[in-house]
Amino acid sequence: MAGERLDERQRRDWLRLMKSEHVGPVTFRQLIARYGEASEALKALPALAQRGGLKRSIRLYPAEAAERDLERADDIGARFVGVGEPDYPPLLARTDSAPALICIKGRPELVQTPMIAIVGARSASAAGRRLARDFGSRLGRAGLTVVSGLARGIDAAAHEAALATGTVAVVAGGIDVLYPPENEELQRAIGERGLLVSEMTPGTMPRAEHFPRRNRLIAGMSLGTLVVEAALRSGSLITARLALEQNREVFAVPGSPLDPRAEGTNRLIKLGASLATSADDIIDALSGLIERAEHEAPASEGLADEDGAAEFNAAGEDHRDRIWALLGPAPVELDDLIRESGLPTHVVNAVVLELEMAGRLERHPGQRLARLA
Amino acid sequence: MAGERLDERQRRDWLRLMKSEHVGPVTFRQLIARYGEASEALKALPALAQRGGLKRSIRLYPAEAAERDLERADDIGARFVGVGEPDYPPLLARTDSAPALICIKGRPELVQTPMIAIVGARSASAAGRRLARDFGSRLGRAGLTVVSGLARGIDAAAHEAALATGTVAVVAGGIDVLYPPENEELQRAIGERGLLVSEMTPGTMPRAEHFPRRNRLIAGMSLGTLVVEAALRSGSLITARLALEQNREVFAVPGSPLDPRAEGTNRLIKLGASLATSADDIIDALSGLIERAEHEAPASEGLADEDGAAEFNAAGEDHRDRIWALLGPAPVELDDLIRESGLPTHVVNAVVLELEMAGRLERHPGQRLARLA
């Protein structure tokens, strides 16, 4: 299925599966790997959750709701793209946490260009906004698409500067929800001349917990992330951390130690980010990566292949107890769980999936698992 | 002789030899290694220079002039200290270009403390001066002696902040020549409560070519060098380069790419200097070095031992021609010269010394030599 387009029914079922209870990006892939089709996975979910220990019925996203979502996207000139489909950002598809579907509006060809994220403080200084504009327009002219989060301050300045060459705005809510209000016009412009991206369905109001997820997408689709002005403990530093976790480049604009808006960027440089004072610093560092990306075939990652399906099989009650006993509130690595349980990989995978469907397990980055209950 | 005090006559002869024509720091050591005493080296110089090809007499610094220099130092409460003597800065003594004698005034015990250089732009901003003061006082309270060049701007701010805990000013002219005028009071204060250091004799007016030499001393006696505000192509970057050449730590305070006074420091960080936003960054990085320095015996480096003397012997005319032919205006390494000449090391050393005394050779860092004539 990878690399091919979903048909209409598959897309609806993907949306249903993605929005069903306890189904995250990793679980989604495992379910497709196990059951082949989203429709089959949806049928299997209630029994899986029950075996995992859920006392009530698992909540499946209704077919009608998914159909409404797809219609609403169509009404606003947007559409849903599945991981592995041609218009899905290839670098994002390679990340562990790639959403099964994203909603896009605008020029989908931008997803095939090399991208650089520019993020930073909402309460940016005039100097910071000027720097974001300089970086945005110069990186744009150098052939990079500028990705950001459509926030006030640095994000908006970077988008504006790159509107002429190509910019992608990843928004935290539905792509038709104009937020923040001061960027309404910019959001409309990007929906026409650039590309709007969201993992939410249209009409979703952005909530606080959506923003870190949005940052994950920004870092995930970009070769590198540039942070322009950021305080300590800011969303921009989270984006930088996510970029590092995905082995992407991180750049930071330095500033005076007397400027609190430079504390975050100076700290990033101390921790190993590359100091960037001009677009050339970034172009030089990324040029090798850009060439490699251009010579690669379009990404066909996204979903595990048929071989993966063999890894899943029904598990016995005693296996489930043994694995549950090995889990705690602190995350453990899946490999350790397999080793310490003494059980075959496919058995552990099956139990983990069941426990997850029952809402008793939480996935952490790096294939680590923790008890939720 | 290393580690012992010079007697009065030796000190006078060292001063004569150091100030005689064509005698640089490296040559000084080689002459002492070859002849044992400065008085013997002085006697040998005319013949050496003649063999090297000098058509006139080499200019020796007169004994009376050296005696006047020593008296003048005494009159102003200063004195000359030879490399290897107890009051000579131990880290400086380990550098290739350590002056044979330095003139000091103030508290000589400061040379035994761990030192940090703080340098930067004369045309510093108010923010830069504030940072220099912050770093100076905090590093001082942490037990580091602050070394700088008594220039306006960053240097003066760092000295002032560290006057209470201990500061060393290395001046480009004689230590009794008050320069620059606006730092007159500060220079007097450091001569009493801190330590003034110069490789010039008292009364010497500072000239442009003295400043890079002064920078060499600043970097040479310090465990590390911190650059606060510096333009590209500035003296502070030279000091940083000298520190790197001597395997010392280099720290730089970052600044906005829009601030031309941060171009030099940002560039240093790109090239590998450590980004410093607070004194703790420096203390953390140097703490290991400071402990090691405290557990080491006082430096007894400075002069080659008796073994070195065996390396020198008279050279024949044909040897001299062969070596001269291998030299050009671009510096070559001494090791290459030895290999390509096919001559024994002691012969090459002897010819190099003669050519140098004749003013036909220039020494470059890293044991490299070039034709001057």
pLDDT for res B372: 84
How far CA B74 is from CA of B77, B93, B191, B194, B201, in Å, comes to 5, 23, 14, 18, 12
Q: Do B131 and A258 touch (CB under 8 A)?
A: yes
Which of A131, A254, A258 minimises the CB distance to B130? Answer: A258
| Minimum distance, in Å, between the CA of residue A256 and any CA atom of chain B | 4
Say if the Cβ atoms of A256 and B258 lie within 8 Å: no
* Rounded CA separation B138/B118 (Å): 12
What's the pLDDT tens digit per position in A260-289? 999 999 999 999 999 999 999 999 999 877
- A101 to chain B, minimum CA–CA distance in Å? 39
Q: A267 to chain B, minimum CA–CA distance in Å?
A: 9
Please state, in angstroms and as integers, the Cα–Cα distance from residue B39 to each residue in A224, B27, B62, B206, B233, following that order: 66, 15, 12, 29, 42
Which residues does chain A have within 8 Å of residue B277's beta carbon, measured at their own beta carbons?
Answer: 257, 263, 266, 270
Give the A:B interface size as CB pairs under 8 Å.
61
For chain A, which ranges sit under pLDDT 50? 1-2, 297-302, 304-312
User: In chain A, what residues touch B257 (CB-CB under 8 Å)?
Assistant: 131, 253-254, 277-278
Phi and psi at B18, nearest 5°, equal -60, -35
- Whether residues B275 and A266 touch (CB distance < 8 A) is answered with yes
Element at A9 (helix H, strand E): helix A8-18
Q: Which residues of chain B have pLDDT under 70?
A: 1-3, 293-315, 373
φ, ψ (nearest 5 deg) of residue B363 = -90, 135
Residue in chain B closest to A271 (alpha carbons) equals B275
Question: What pLDDT is recorded for position B310?
Answer: 39
Closest chain B C-alpha to A274 CA, distance in angstroms: 7
Cα B96–chain centre separation: 9
- A256 and B281: CB-CB below 8 Å? no
Provide, as residue numbers in chain B, all residues whose Cβ is less than 8 Å from the Cβ of A133: none
- Do B275 and A269 make contact, defined as CB atoms within 8 angstroms? yes
DSSP secondary structure letter of residue B311: T
Report the pLDDT value the prediction gives residue A302, as an integer from 0 to 100.
43
Residue to substitute from B228, B275, B280, B284, interface A, most A β-carbons within 10 A: B275
**Contacts made by residues A126-129, CB under 8 angstroms, sequence distance 24+:** A127/B256, A127/B258, A128/A153, A128/A154, A128/A157, A128/A228, A128/A229, A128/A253, A128/A261, A129/A153, A129/A154, A129/A157
Nearest to B266 among A130, A258, A277 (CB): A277
Q: Which residues of A touch B254 (CB under 8 A)?
A: 254-257, 262, 266, 269, 275
The predicted model scores a pTM of: 0.82
Nearest CA in chain A to B275: A270
For A257, name the nearest residue in chain B, comparing CA atoms only: B277
H or E element at residue B215: helix B210-221
Closest CB to A254: pick one of B130, B269, B281.
B269
Which residues of B fall below an 8 Å CB-CB distance to A?
127, 130-131, 253-259, 262-263, 266, 269-270, 274-275, 277-278, 281
Among A130, A277, A278, the strongest candidate for a mutation testing the B interface, having the largest count of B CBs within 10 A, is: A277
Residue type, A37: E
**Contact residues for A162 (Cβ-Cβ < 8 A; gap 6+):** A136, A137, A139, A140, A145, A146, A194
**Chain segment B196-255, per-residue pLDDT in tens:** 999 999 999 999 888 888 999 999 999 999 999 998 888 889 889 889 888 899 999 999
Q: How far is CA A137 from CA A129, A132, A143, in A?
A: 12, 9, 10
Residue B209 has a pLDDT of: 87
